Amino acid sequence: MKGERFGGGGGRFGRGRRGGFRGGASRHGDTCFRCGGTGHWATDCRGPVPPPPDPEEPPAAEEEEPFELPTLEEVARATGTLQSGTADSRHHLEKAETTHHEDEALLNVIRPDYECPAPPPPMEPLYALTEDGKVQETPEAVYAALRDLGYQSFRAGQEEAIMRILSGLSTLVVLSTGMGKSLCYQLPAYLYAQRSRCISLVISPLISLMDDQLSGLPAKLRAACIHSNMTRKQREAAIEKVKSGQVCFLLVSPEVLVGSAGSGAGCLPSAQELPPVAFACIDEAHCVSEWSHNFRPCYLRLCKVLRERLGVQCFLGLTATATLSTALDIARHLGISDQQGISVRSAAVPPNLNLSVSMDREKDQALVSLLKGERFGCLDSIIVYCTRREETLRVAALLRTCLQGVLLSSGGLGSQTDPAAQRKKELARKKIRKPLKWLAESYHAGMSAAERRRVQNNFMCGELRIVVATVAFGMGLDKSDVRGVVHYNMPKSFESYVQEIGRAGRDGEPAHCHLFLDAEGADLRELRRHIYADTVDYYTIKRLLQRVFPACTCRRLQQHQQGRWKDVEDSDLLEVMKEHEQENGPDRAALQVRTEGSGAQENEPDRADLQVRTEGSGAQENESDRADLQVRTEGSGAQQAVIEDVDQDLAALGHASMEDGTGRADLTTREWRGGVWPERRACCTHERAIPIQEVVEALDVPEEGVETLLCYLELHPQRWVELLHPTLSVCKVSCYDGPKQLQKVTKICPPVAVVLARKRMAGERVERCDQVEFDVVEVADIMGWQLPLVKRGLRQLQWSTDRAGGRSGVLVEFSAISFYFRSYGDLSPEEMDVLCHFLHGRVQEQERTRLQQLTACFKAFRSVAFQSVLSCVQHLDRSRSQQLKALLSEYFDRKKERGGAVQLEEEPEDLDTNELLDWEEQVRTDIRRFLALRSDEKFSGRAVARILHGIGSPRYPAQIYGRDRRFWRKYLHLDFNRLIQMATQEIIGFK
């Protein structure tokens, strides 16, 4: 029957009142009242129908073959990664087979030596230095190349910087916007490409900057770029141009360059596939110092990658805004040691800019009055900067409403006599009187790329008079006739302020800049909120380090080998070594003892550097004993001897005599800034992978924040981690044919066999498994395998020649993009504490620095501010403009004091003690209410303080918690750290 196919006919539910196929109509209305059956009425009922006979029991299944899994030792031996001489440990392995830790502790595998490929040799400079180490006079060939590019002479600072690069000397150039910084790398790249087949790299932070550089190149200069907005074919075409030598320089983003360790999309090929790199130019070099923390951490690793992977020794840094302290920091990154490295430092503010500041309570009305006044009323290209995206939308709508029908005034800058500029201005005036949407529009990073491009193009061609934007607008804007810049909110630092006002008046003509300062400090609190959003507490750092440095078994394995050799008598050792020599010959292993120095004490010959070098990871067992041990002993009277190596683990014997009372080898140590680090570790680093999304949610720290902390560890003098290209770390193997197929897979795929063996040792039943999910990076590291080979082998499981279509019935999926790195696993608790203090100190230093910059900005702007914008709407007070320029110059020329935290002075938004006590009771009440309403969630004191300040985080996003306005941003005026203390106390009391 049709119903029986889907479980009908009573076969699925038995014979009862609710017969019929599953999901059909109810038959309750036409059943017998006496027996409840169907097909008859009560008058014809003969009694209940007897139940159907029980179905016959199915025949007993044949006994399945036992599921035999190889041990980890057997897998390692089969793949050729097991160290020789582990026969003594097999008995111990059999006893501890059910203990996962013991099994791995004694599994001594041959780990592949990880060595970064040697960088190519650096390019020879085009011109050698003079005998006294100075740069030569500019030759005629340089002037000829300058004319080839369409220029007749150098501007200030260009010639000096170009000659230093052509001489192979790293240089930092600090020039104002529009002073010709691009020529400083274009001309050297052109000359280097003429001499030999080479390439110059230009690292640019924004795609718009790259596009502008390519569109404005001279005719004889060829270049290409690689960035994330390009398709795969476009990237491959650009790389082919580079390989074939068709371009003089290549523009890349920092992420593309730093990610070149792997073969991911958008990454550069290896150094062996690229032409030699003549030099590397870092455009907007202030990003190395300012953007590298919590925003774009790849800038921290930029110079390291260029040196170690591409062999670059000559660097050129270009920036328009850098304090002396920032310039010195950039010079340290670039490796500039000589005093002439910072070739040019121009004035902080161009002389054609006219500056003014006002403190207005009604900023909206003041902004409209300013744009209608004589100073800004005649300007046809104005940028208004706001801090928040919502503010840009509101202010743009305000200006479209209030400036409806207002025409440009004819005074001021409108009286210029340049015919071309006059014609352009007349055309702009005509186009401004378009529909209202063309008068002012908003621009921020939350808009689509097409919408942002439309707004920028309209502003470039003069159809749009005012752009109300966040700081995302302006960098890379190639518009020289921007006549006005207005800051609706206070910028976060002097560097940002100078960078933003520098986008006006690039043509050298007068331009006006105005800043609205909130007298009550609302902007100051808003910017401090952004600073606190990047901070990480000590407990979070500790949890991160526990993930980065999980304990490994290297030290336990070393101690086990030391214990084995302690139990061997000298006579037995000599006898075994003699037999080993007779079997393998005296030339199979050599031990060279080399004595250096004299006068050493007799009790120091035990301190030996034993260097074990294993050739090949897949060698046979009888050949894995070949090792060259080189022992260098410091002392007098030592004699040379040659002995044979029975086990490569004899290297651990060199530390056996240095054990302390706890059985732990007291390794040679040295101090670094108060910490004590061992020079030789038992662990030689392991490959680790941390899923990005998982760690972000677990730690409640953005991805950029986690990457910044990892960069700090990599750039530490001890090189605690070695960051590699992110990888997919989670592998899932599913077998469509069930457990039987998975058992067959274990016989041909060692990684799957290892995973199941570890699961069984952990107490899980694996006989009925038809799919497994595991960390492929961890499995490869445990067994000493190379990760690319393991992934390739797993992917090949999906294909088979035994089935039609080539599919094997096995699905292999890789997921979870992860931070991929190498790290140590034998850190002591003391070392972990020192690293926690180190990272927390770096985070606190960044926070203090940014808070100091913010406070310095507020005080400087307040000292020159008018009480109302009406004082500077019509005419400019040049004395106050010069006073602000002097403050900016003083700030940019002042070197930041290092060492010790500088205490911030009392800030205007701080409340006095009595008022703070009044607020404290209300704050504690609201914290208790908040915890009671969300009693099913877990919060830390920092998380609660962030919500009260309106700071979103990965675990507590603003889209969800910002809906409850009873708590969100309610106490923005109170100190953030004090809120953390109160929230922590209430959480403890709530529990």
- Residues 572-603 have pLDDT tens digits of 656 655 655 555 444 443 333 333 333 333 33
Residue 52 · residue 35 · CB < 8 Å: no
Tokens of 547: 């993930």
- Rounded to a whole number, what is the largest CA-CA distance in the chain? 127
pTM of the predicted structure, to 2 decimals: 0.76
Gap between the Cα atoms of 314 and 306, Å rounded: 10
Q: DSSP E strands: which ranges in 679-720?
A: 686-691
**Do the domains at 140-345 and 353-520 have one common CATH topology?**
yes
- Where do we find the tokens 């401090």? 528
The per-residue pLDDT for 909 is 43
Alpha-carbon separation of residue 529 from 45, 535, 624, 972 (angstroms)? 83, 10, 60, 8
Gap between the Cα atoms of 717 and 732, Å rounded: 38
Q: Is the pLDDT of residue 121 over 80?
A: yes
The per-residue pLDDT for 665 is 35
Q: In the CATH scheme, what architecture does the domain 353-520 have?
A: 3-Layer(aba) Sandwich (3.40)
The per-residue pLDDT for 679 is 66
Nearest residue to 285 via CA among 428, 380, 359, 174: 174
Segment (H or E) for 156: none
Q: Is the pLDDT of residue 429 over 80?
A: no
User: Roughly what angle, to the nearest 10 degrees, separates helices 976-990 and 522-533?
Assistant: 60
- Class for the domain spanning 140-345: alpha beta
Strand partners of residue 596 = 634
The per-residue pLDDT for 407 is 63
Gap between the Cα atoms of 889 and 680, Å rounded: 49
Which stretch of 112-121, 738-747, 940-949 has the lowest confidence by average pLDDT? Answer: 112-121
Residue 267 · residue 259 · CB < 8 Å: yes
Query: What integer is the mean pLDDT of 697-716?
Result: 92
Query: What is the identity of the amino acid at 923?
Result: V
pLDDT tens, residue by residue, 367-416: 999 998 889 988 888 999 998 888 999 999 999 888 876 666 554 444 34
Give percent of the chain above pLDDT 70: 71
Per-residue b or e along 88-124, where b marks 16 or more CB atoms closer than 10 Å to that residue's CB: ebeebbeebbeebebbbbbbbbbbbeeeeeebbebbe
Q: Which residue has the higher pLDDT, 31 or 260?
A: 31
Q: Is the pLDDT of residue 732 over 80?
A: yes
The per-residue pLDDT for 133 is 82
Q: What is the pLDDT of the chain when averaged over all its residues?
A: 76
Helix, strand counts (H, E) of the chain: 35, 22
Gap between the Cα atoms of 866 and 519, Å rounded: 11
Residue 841 · residue 712 · CB < 8 Å: no
Query: What integer is the mean pLDDT of 454-464?
Result: 85
Residue 349 · residue 355 · CB < 8 Å: yes
Nearest residue to 719 via CA among 252, 198, 308, 274: 308
The per-residue pLDDT for 76 is 74
The per-residue pLDDT for 101 is 42
Q: Kindly list the domain boundaries of the chain, sorted by start residue.
A: 1-50, 140-345, 353-520, 587-598+607-643, 913-990
User: Roughly what angle, to the nearest 10 degrees, separates helices 183-195 and 158-166?
Assistant: 30
Q: Which residue has the higher pLDDT, 682 or 909?
A: 682
Gap between the Cα atoms of 533 and 18, Å rounded: 62
Alpha-carbon separation of residue 832 from 194, 497, 547, 565 (angstroms)? 53, 40, 12, 31
**Pairing label, strands 628-634, 342-345:** unpaired
